[in-house]
Chain A
C-alpha cells in the first residue's frame, strides 16, 4: 500500500484541519472587523456641491447649530437649511465669492441645492431628533465633533448597538439641556442620574421604540 500513498500523506488530515482552522479564523476576524457599520458607514465623506465648512461657521464664528438647523427642536427631522438662510449673511459677507455661486443661484431660482445626505439610518428606524435634543442629548453623540469638521464625514456607526448603548445608560450621556449644541462641553460634575430621574427620561429598549 505504501507505494500508492507515500508516508507524508499520514499528516494530511491534520494539515488540512489546521489550514481550515487558520482560514476560518481569518474569515471570522475579517467579517467581525469589516461587516459592521463601524467600517461600512464610518468615514463616509461625500463631496458636497458647496464647500461648506462647519469648522469655520461653528468653531471659528461660534454660530449655534440651530441657526441653520432650526427645525431640530420641533421635528423628527433635522432640516438642511434653505438657501435663504445662507443669504442672511452671505447677501453681504463674501457676496461675490465663487464658492457661493451655487447658493446665490439657488436663492434666486428657488431650486434647492442638492446636498448629499451623509447620516442615514435605515428606513425602518424611526429616529426623532426633537425628543433627543430636548432631553439633553447633544448633537455630538451621534454626529461626532462636527464643529471641527471642515468637510463633514460620518463619524459614528449609528448601528443598533450604538443606539442601545445610550438607551441602556442614558445617565452617562445626558447634559444640561441648554448645552446640547455646545459640542465641546465636558462633564464636570453634572449629575446625569438626577437629570434622568427629574426629566423622566425613559429611553425604551423594546423593538417598537424605534421600529414600527
Chain B
C-alpha cells in the first residue's frame, strides 16, 4: 500500500515538474507565435492593414493599397490652392500663413514640431537635434537670417516636399499641421528677436 502511494506521488511530482519545465512559466520569452486555444473565428479571411494577401487581384500581395493612378481620395482631396501648396496663383510664395493664427494653432504647432522636427532641428530651432550627434549633416538653424526672412509659403513647400537632404514630411503633417508648425517656428524666431519694450509691463516687472 505504502509502495503504491509513493509510486503515485512520485509519478505525479515528475509529471508536474515535466510540464513546468516544458511549458515554462508565464511571461517567458518565446519566438513561437501565441497558441490560440479556442481559435473560433480569431483569424478571419478579411484583410487587415499592412499585411499580406493571396488575393490574385492584388499582384504585389499587399493588403494596403495605393490609390489607383489618377484618383484622389475624397478625404484628402484639396484644390491646389494657397492653403495646400503655399503658392499663389501666379506661382509666387504665399507671404503669410493663410489661417487665423490663434494660440491653439501655435500650441498644436509646438506639439507637432517637437515630434517631427526637433529630432534634427532641435527643440529650440538651433539645428542641434539629437540626430546631429550621429552624423546628420547640414541641418538648418531656424534662427538664420535667411529663414527669418523666408516667405511662409516657401517654408510650407520645404516641409511638404523636402529640400536637399531633408525628405518630405507631407505624409506626417497634414497641411493644417504644416501651417501650425510654421506658426510655431515663427514664434521660436521671435523669441530671439524681441525687444525689452515688447514685454508686457506686468511680466517685465517679474524679470530680473
Mark A residues whose CB is within 8 Å of B.
8, 11, 15, 19, 22-23, 26, 30, 33-35, 37-47, 61-64, 66-67, 70, 77, 79-80, 82, 84-85, 87-89, 91-95, 111-112, 114, 117, 120, 122-124, 153-154, 178
Q: Contacts A11-B1, A44-B30, A67-B119 hold; do A123 and B37 have CB atoms under 8 A apart?
A: no
**Which residue of A84, A114, A154 contacts B34 across the interface (Cβ within 8 Å)?**
A154
Query: Within 8 Å CB of A84, what residues of B?
Result: 167, 171
With A and B bound together, what is the CA distance between A195 and B135 in angstroms?
A: 43
With A and B bound together, what is the CA distance between A154 and B37 in angstroms?
A: 17
Q: Which of B45-53, B89-97, B199-207 contacts A (4 or more CB under 8 A)?
A: B45-53
Q: Contacts A88-B167, A123-B43, A124-B44 hold; do A61 and B49 have CB atoms under 8 A apart?
A: no
Q: Which of B20-28, B141-149, B153-161, B185-193 contacts A (4 or more CB under 8 A)?
A: B20-28
With A and B bound together, what is the CA distance between A153 and B28 in angstroms?
A: 10
Q: Contacts A19-B8, A79-B50, A80-B50 hold; do A63 and B34 have CB atoms under 8 A apart?
A: no
With A and B bound together, what is the CA distance between A26 and B43 in angstroms?
A: 31
Q: Mark B30-60, 1 if CB is under 8 A from A, else 0.
A: 1111111100011110101111100000001
A-B contact pairs, 16 of them (CB 8 A): A11-B1, A19-B8, A38-B27, A39-B23, A42-B26, A42-B27, A43-B28, A44-B34, A62-B130, A84-B171, A85-B172, A93-B134, A112-B62, A117-B51, A153-B29, A178-B111
Interface flag for B19 (CB, 8 Å): yes
> Closest chain A residue to B45 by CB distance?
A123
Interface flag for B16 (CB, 8 Å): yes
Query: Within 8 Å CB of B52, what residues of A?
Result: 114
With A and B bound together, what is the CA distance between A42 and B41 in angstroms?
A: 21
Query: Within 8 Å CB of B46, what residues of A?
Result: 123
With A and B bound together, what is the CA distance between A123 and B47 in angstroms?
A: 10
Question: Chain B interface secondary structure, helix, strand, loop or mixed?
Answer: loop
Asked if A93 and B131 make an inter-chain contact with CB atoms under 8 angstroms apart, the answer reads: yes
7 closest cross-chain pairs (CB), A and B: A122-B42, A123-B44, A64-B115, A41-B34, A40-B35, A93-B134, A70-B172
Query: Within 8 Å CB of B15, what residues of A?
Result: 26
Considering residues A39, A79, A95, A111, which has the most beta carbons from chain B within 10 angstroms of its beta carbon? A39
Shortest CB distance A167–B (Å): 21
Asked if A122 and B119 make an inter-chain contact with CB atoms under 8 angstroms apart, the answer reads: no
With A and B bound together, what is the CA distance between A39 and B167 in angstroms?
A: 43
> Closest chain B residue to A84 by CB distance?
B167
Q: Mark B57-88, 1 if CB is under 8 A from A, else 0.
A: 00010100000000000000000000000000
Query: Within 8 Å CB of A63, what residues of B?
Result: 119, 130
Query: Within 8 Å CB of A89, what residues of B?
Result: 119-120, 131, 134, 136
**Which residue of A23, A46, A124, A178 contacts B41 across the interface (Cβ within 8 Å)?**
A124
Known pairs A43-B26, A44-B32. 16 more at Cβ < 8 A? A22-B12, A23-B12, A26-B12, A26-B16, A47-B31, A61-B119, A70-B171, A79-B50, A89-B120, A89-B131, A92-B137, A112-B50, A114-B52, A122-B42, A123-B42, A154-B34
Asked if B37 and A91 make an inter-chain contact with CB atoms under 8 angstroms apart, the answer reads: no
Shortest CB distance A70–B (Å): 5
Asked if B167 and A91 make an inter-chain contact with CB atoms under 8 angstroms apart, the answer reads: yes
Shortest CB distance A15–B (Å): 8
Interface flag for B126 (CB, 8 Å): no
> Closest chain A residue to B62 by CB distance?
A112
**Which residue of A40, A46, A87 contacts B31 across the interface (Cβ within 8 Å)?**
A46
Query: Within 8 Å CB of A47, what residues of B?
Result: 31
> Closest chain A residue to B112 by CB distance?
A66
Asked if A45 and B29 make an inter-chain contact with CB atoms under 8 angstroms apart, the answer reads: yes
Asked if B116 and A67 make an inter-chain contact with CB atoms under 8 angstroms apart, the answer reads: yes
Asked if A82 and B171 make an inter-chain contact with CB atoms under 8 angstroms apart, the answer reads: yes
Asked if B165 and A44 make an inter-chain contact with CB atoms under 8 angstroms apart, the answer reads: no
Asked if B135 and A92 make an inter-chain contact with CB atoms under 8 angstroms apart, the answer reads: yes
